[in-house]
Structure 1
Amino acid sequence: MNLSIFFEPLNEDVFAPLNKPRTLGSYISRFESKFPDWRTADIAILGVNETRGRSNDSLQEPSAVEAPARLVRRKLYSLNKGSGRCHIVDLGNLRPGITLDDTYLRLKEIVEVLISHNTIPIIIGGSQDLEYGQYLGYEHLDRVVNMATVDSSVDMTEDTDAAPNKKQLRQILMHEPNYLFSLGQIGYQSYLVEPEVMATLEKLHFEAYRVGEVHSNVHRMEPVVRVADLLTFDISAIRHQDAPAYEPANPFGLTGEEACQLCWYAGLNNNLTSLGIYEYNPELDERELTAMTVATMLWYFIEGFYHRKHETDFNSSHFKKYAVAFANDNPDRMIFYKSNNSEKWWMEVEPLNLANGSRIIPCSYEDYLEATNGEVPNRWILTQARIG
């Protein structure tokens, strides 16, 4: 497939000075005069200058301001490359569709093609509703997928007059065919979320973590990210001091360090095949602080990717198996696995209907400790309810 017809090339004069030895810019093959060979790349960066989702006016033209990805690219390219190999391409900026729905479909097609060739798309976009197009790129897999999103709110409002970037999660949940198995909502702030929305997440047996829970122990978010096939990140989840280029301004949220930690977990995740970072507004980034924060997040994702361990054979000698017995509860016992290499944990969840088969899912050491104390971990309960 000729992907180049969907993209606008980058300005050579802007990025050429960044090709210094040992910087990422000198290792990334980008679309300037010649479209890069994405079929053999590990990661493909693409910008999407689409902001119509911030308004409910369907006739609004695509944003004419500087593409969000440009400033992020300048910061990212100037960072020193980490250890190990690096095979990354930059496809340029996706041409927006005539309508917002057209842009979703274009993004779907790009994501679908890239992940089919084992190339991970990193999407640097405008409005958060673009995650709907990112999610659609998984429809062809003919299997259920897991999604994690980092956001200060939960974009599931039923208000028909709301902007598209306030209700794209509802679009995802209502999409047919339905292939979403799990959703992990990270970093939400209770006063920004309608109680009915949280009730819906609870009814669907999805995981949701307040920003305070991330502050208290960011490491407990690792299994939530590790189970995901796709991760989306609304930078409004980051406090204004560390990322001011979004509106309305929010003095509370994740720190820049916590955002980078989550991206590191995403990079390490063997299952994760796409990352989208949205809602960066370059007009509000006077000192380019947000561009630097996002670039550093991407650096940690890339570095994490090149440290993946591909741990999948739970019967191999690389894993220790633990069985925890229960006296009078369901289940009568739980099976845990611990990697000897990474020291990460998984647990096996038995279905209510044995015909559905069990699932081995990521978990934390704290989940194991709960089980040894005679308590069934909440993650086990939610997963069993979804399996049926």
Structure 2
Amino acid sequence: MNLSIFFEPLSEEVFATLNKPRTLGSYISRFVSKFPDWRTADIAILGINETRGRYTDEDNEADHIHHQSAARLVRKKLYSLNKGAGRCQLVDLGNLRPGITLEDTHLRLKEIVEVLISHNTIPVIIGGSHDLEYGQYMGYEHLERVVNMVTVDSSVDMTEDTEAAPNRKQLRQILMHEPNYLFSLSQIGYQSYFVEPEVMATFEKMHFESFRVGEVHRSVQEMEPVVRVADLLTFDISAIRHQDAPGYEPANPFGLTGEEACQLCWYAGLNDNLTSLGIYEYNPALDERKLTAMTVATMIWYFIEGFYHRKNETDFSGRHFTKYAVAFADDNPDRMIFYKSRSSEKWWLEVEPLSPEKGSRVVPCSYEDYLQATKGEVPNRWILTQARIG
């Protein structure tokens, strides 16, 4: 497939000063005059200057113009960062041409994501509005299997208000999409005063996980197994506090720190199953000193580094794992099976289905889940997963 027809080439003069030895800029093959060979790349960067999802039909079209350089500013910061110690096979495909309508852009993104992940190339999307995650999600439809999604956001974009802007209701689109291939959805970093109670009730009814920003502050390490379950991860910049990323609106003094955001992206990079990352809602018009561009660039840097530290820990029957069987009280014949990697020391939990005709499922967990089981308590992660399996 000729992907180049979907993309606008980059201006070489913008990056001419960034090709210093050891910087990422000198290792990334980018679309300037010749489209890069994305089939041999591990990761493909692409920008999308699409912001119509931030507005309702009543908003002025002129308001849509000021976000056009978001991906370019992130690239300038990212290219100037020093490369890590490992190998580096990256391409920059340029900016995806928006469709005539917002829905056209979603479908175009779907097609790009589908092609890239089919060739084992991970798309890293530097986007406009967060509704673009719907297109990112649709790119998994061809797999004909269930997928797991994690979104990092200060709110839960699942409002029932039909008049709301598209970037406030794309999760509802995802849940209603046919065919339905979403197995789990986890929300990290939400702030309760931004979320309608009905939305959280729907989340709980569907057995999805959600974590307030305070829970991330308390232990960002406990978010690692949450991120490790994801096939795709999306990140709304509004989840980060204004001090570390001022380039979004409305301004919010609370949220994740830039360091926590980078930590989550590092976990995403390490995740053997994750095949796409989208970072959305950066508005450069509000980023006077380009601090947000630097924050986003550093997040992507950590994702790339994490990717090149993957362990390929997927065969739990192999000698690289230690198996633990936790028995419950004497009158309860059940037991819970855990796996621990001898290399990374990460934990997994085997969940038995309620229906005997369905197979068990091994899901990421934490050491805390194991300790909870040894005390005779059933981890919440086990309960939610079994409820989704049926």
Q: Report the TM-score, using the length of structure 2 for normalisation.
A: 0.98
Question: Deviation of residue 67 (structure 1)?
Answer: 2.4
Question: Deviation of residue 328 (structure 1)?
Answer: 6.8
Distance 2:354 2:331 in 1: 14
Question: Deviation of residue 294 (structure 1)?
Answer: 0.3
- After superposition, give the CA deviation of every residue in 1:74-105 in whole Å (9 maximum; x if it has no partner): 00000000011000000000000000000000
Residue identity opposite 1:42 in structure 2 = D
* Correspondences of 1:224-303 after superposition (within 5 Å): 224-303=226-305
Distance 2:65 2:132 in 1: 14
Question: Deviation of residue 65 (structure 1)?
Answer: 4.3
Percent of pairs identical after alignment? 84
What is the aligned partner in structure 1 of residue 108 from structure 2?
A: 106
For the residue of structure 1 that corresponds to 2:38, the secondary structure is: coil
For the residue of structure 2 that corresponds to 1:146, the secondary structure is: strand
Q: Does 1:325 align with 2:332?
A: no
Distance 1:154 1:36 in 2: 37
* Correspondences of 1:1-388 after superposition (within 5 Å): 1-57=1-57, 60=61, 63=65, 65-327=67-329, 332-388=334-390
Distance 1:297 1:366 in 2: 27
Distance 1:122 1:369 in 2: 36
Tell me, yes or no, if the aligned pair for 2:67 and 2:283 is still in contact at 8 Å: no
- After superposition, give the CA deviation of every residue in 1:128-182 in whole Å (9 maximum; x if it has no partner): 0000000000000000000000000000001010000000000000000000000
Tell me, yes or no, if the aligned pair for 1:48 and 1:94 is still in contact at 8 Å: yes
Residue identity opposite 1:72 in structure 2 = V
Residue identity opposite 2:227 in structure 1 = V
Cα root mean square deviation, aligned: 1.3
Distance 1:82 1:21 in 2: 12
- After superposition, give the CA deviation of every residue in 1:293-338 in whole Å (9 maximum; x if it has no partner): 0000000000000000001111111110000011278771000000
Residue identity opposite 1:16 in structure 2 = A
For the residue of structure 2 that corresponds to 1:356, the secondary structure is: coil
Question: Deviation of residue 57 (structure 1)?
Answer: 1.7
Structure 1 unpaired stretches of 5+: none
For the residue of structure 2 that corresponds to 1:310, the secondary structure is: coil
Distance 2:117 2:200 in 1: 31
Distance 2:66 2:176 in 1: 32
Tell me, yes or no, if the aligned pair for 2:183 and 2:388 is still in contact at 8 Å: yes
Tell me, yes or no, if the aligned pair for 2:49 and 2:128 is still in contact at 8 Å: yes
Residue identity opposite 1:27 in structure 2 = Y
For the residue of structure 2 that corresponds to 1:232, the secondary structure is: strand
Question: Deviation of residue 269 (structure 1)?
Answer: 0.2
For the residue of structure 2 that corresponds to 1:346, the secondary structure is: strand
Once structures 1 and 2 are overlaid, which stretch shifts more, 51-60 or 198-207?
51-60
Tell me, yes or no, if the aligned pair for 1:52 and 1:63 is still in contact at 8 Å: no
Tell me, yes or no, if the aligned pair for 1:50 and 1:63 is still in contact at 8 Å: no
Tell me, yes or no, if the aligned pair for 1:23 and 1:81 is still in contact at 8 Å: yes
Distance 2:3 2:69 in 1: 20
For the residue of structure 2 that corresponds to 1:149, the secondary structure is: strand
Question: Deviation of residue 354 (structure 1)?
Answer: 1.4
Question: Deviation of residue 63 (structure 1)?
Answer: 3.4
Question: Deviation of residue 66 (structure 1)?
Answer: 3.1
Tell me, yes or no, if the aligned pair for 2:51 and 2:67 is still in contact at 8 Å: no
Distance 1:95 1:330 in 2: 59
Q: Report the TM-score, using the length of structure 1 for normalisation.
A: 0.98
- After superposition, give the CA deviation of every residue in 1:93-129 in whole Å (9 maximum; x if it has no partner): 0000000000000000000000000000000000000
